[in-house]
Amino acid sequence: IVGMVLLAIELLVIPGFGVFGIVGILCMMTGLCFALVGSDFSFSVESPAWQEFTSSFILVMFSMLLAVIICALLSARIGKGKGLFSRMALQKVQDAAEGYVAVPADEMSLQVGKEGEAFTILRPAGKVRIDGKIYDAVAEFGFIEAQEKIVVIRSESGCLYVRSLSSKA
């Protein structure tokens, strides 16, 4: 019971995996070993109960090792398919045509002063199209509707700051 309480504290209260988790696992393993030993246990090394405890400790360790191996084999086998584990890692290719691109800073600074159009609605952030390429952008003032003409004011931190060319801004 102490081991489960320590593990619960580790999982729910304390972030990470540290002393409470390790001590909790050790307490649970010790509890399993004592559960396999009779109630007339003596802490004397020469007693038959101590030998019974040693054999139960070996049994618990072997069982845990076997469980870890089975879990590793199952996760490797299940992970290859289209099951639950395949969703844990990104499988899709991030295509440049869909806007997944990292633009070098020098290319961003070359866009200052250029005109283009809003590719998406900028509220205030969105995407703009300049010379056929799509960039992340932030509207300097207010919102900008899609397909509205824009001009690039400045470039900072991989993002273009734009202003609308229409009379609304």
Taking residues 89-100, report their average pLDDT: 73
Those residues whose C-beta lies under 8 Å from the C-beta of residue 27, and which sit 6 or more positions away, are: 2, 3, 6
Please give the Cα distance from 134 to 141 (Å, whole number): 20
pLDDT tens digit string along 135-169?
A: 999 999 889 999 999 999 999 887 899 999 985 54
Domain 103-164 has CATH 2.60.40.10: no
Q: What is the pLDDT of residue 169?
A: 45
Domain ranges of the chain: 2-88, 103-164
Find the DSSP H helices in 84-129. Answer: 105-109
Please give the Cα distance from 99 to 81 (Å, whole number): 29
The pLDDT confidence band at residue 41, using thresholds 50, 70 and 90, is low
Global pTM reads 0.43
